[in-house]
Amino acid sequence: MNQGTSLVGKDLGLGNALKFVEHESGLVQGVVSTPRVQGSFFLLGGHVAEFQPAGQEPVLFLSERAVFEEGKAIRGGIPVCLPWFGPKKNEAGEVDANAPSHGLVRTELWQVGSATLEDDVVSVSLEYQLEGLQLKNLVRFGTELSMSLSLLNESEQPAEIELALHTYFKVGDVASVKIQGLEQIGFLDQLSGQTWPATGEAIEFSEETDRIYHGDASRVVLVDPEKARRIKVDSQGSRSTVVWNPWIEKSKRMADFGDHEYPEMCCIETANIRPNQVRLGPGEGTEVSLKISVAPI
C-alpha cells in the first residue's frame, strides 16, 4: 500500500496545522491550516497546489479544469519538472513523442519524509526516488512559501538533468501585470525559436508568451495592479527562468485549462535547463530553492 493512503486521517501530532485527506479525486492531499497560512499539496508529483497567506488572496493559480489523476500532471500550483523540461529530445534533438512532457516525476506518487510545525509554519519533506536519483523537496508553508529541492545521484553513472519548479501564479489581469528582474537578461522565444537581447524593460503580456531566460534572476517580482500586490520570487541555485502565458489559442488547445483562464495566471519558472542543465557525477548532488512572498504595491 502506498504510504499516502495510510496518512489519511492519521494524527501526526500537528493538530489542524497539517492533515492528510482523501481529495474528491481519490488522491491524497495534505491540507495546511495555521494562523499564518492556508495551503495544500498532493502526494501526486509532490505537488504544491495552494498557498494563501493570512489576509491575502490565493497566490497560486489552479485551473478549474485541472485533472487530479495518477499519471497526469495537475494544471497549476508548482509542478516539479525533471529530468527533462518540455518535450524529451534525444542527442540529435529529435522529440520522443512517447515521453511525457516535463519529465517523469510530476505524475508519480511521492512520499512524505517528515512533517513538522514551528511558530505556525508547517514544514514537510516530499520525497521521490527516480531510479538512482534521490529527490527531496523541503516545503515550508508560512507567511512565505519556500521550497528547497535537492537531488542526489546515488548511481554509479553520471546524470544530466534539466529541472524546473514550474510555478503558476494567480493574477488579477495578465494584460496589466509587469514582471521585473529579468530586464538585463536576453531570452529565447520558444514560439519563434528566435533569441533576443536584453530588453531593459519589465515583461508585459499582450499575446502568447513563452520565453526562456538564462542568467541570474535571484529576485523576480510580479507586479499585479489589479490585486494591488507584488509577488516576490526569490531563488537560489537557479540559472534559468521561464516565463509563460498561453493566451487565447493555446488555452483552447489545453483540455485541462479553461478557455477563459489565461487572464488569471502567468508562470514564472525557477529552473536549470538547456545549457544550464545539471550534470551530477556518482554521489554528487544539487539544490534549487525558491521563496515566494507577497507585499502590497
Q: Is 97 exposed, middle or buried (0-12, 13-18, 19+ CB in 10 A)?
A: exposed
Residues in binding contact with ligand TA6, number by CB under 6 A: 10
Give the Cα separation of 53 and 71 in Å (integer). 30
Q: d(Cα 167, Cα 60) in Å, to the nearest integer?
A: 8
- Annotated active-site residue in 47, 166, 214, 261: 166
Under the binding rule (CB under 6 A), the answer on residue 234 touching ligand TA6 is no
50 versus 144: smaller Cβ distance to ligand TA6: 50
Q: State which of positions 267-286 bind ligand TA6 (CB under 6 A).
A: 267, 269
Nearest to ligand TA6 of 117, 174 (CB atom): 174
47 exposure class (CB count in 10 Å sphere: 0-12, 13-18, 19+): buried
Residues 62-91 that bind ligand TA6 (CB under 6 A): 73, 86
Instruction: State the sign of the Cα–Cα–Cα–Cα dihedral 273, 279, 283, 284.
Output: negative
For the CB of residue 178, give the shortest distance to ligand TA6 in the complex, in Å: 19
Q: Which of 19, 102, 227, 239 binds ligand TA6 (CB under 6 A)?
A: 102
Q: What is the Cα gyration radius of the chain?
A: 18
Q: Can 269 be counted among the known catalytic residues?
A: yes
Is residue 249 close enough to count as binding ligand TA6 by CB under 6 A? no
41 counts as binding ligand TA6 under rule CB under 6 A? no
User: Which of 17/271 has CB closer to ligand TA6?
Assistant: 271
Report the nearest approach of ligand TA6 to the CB of residue 81 (Å). 8
Q: Is 242 in the site for ligand TA6 (CB under 6 A)?
A: yes
Look at residues 280, 283, 264, 260 and name the one whose alpha carbon lies nearest to residue 272: 280
Respond yes or no: is residue 166 known to be catalytic: yes
Residue 210 makes contact with ligand TA6 by CB under 6 A: yes
Residue closer to ligand TA6 (CB basis): 43 or 242? 242
Residues making contact with ligand TA6 (CB under 6 A): 73, 86, 101-102, 190, 210, 242, 244, 267, 269
Catalytic positions are: 166, 269
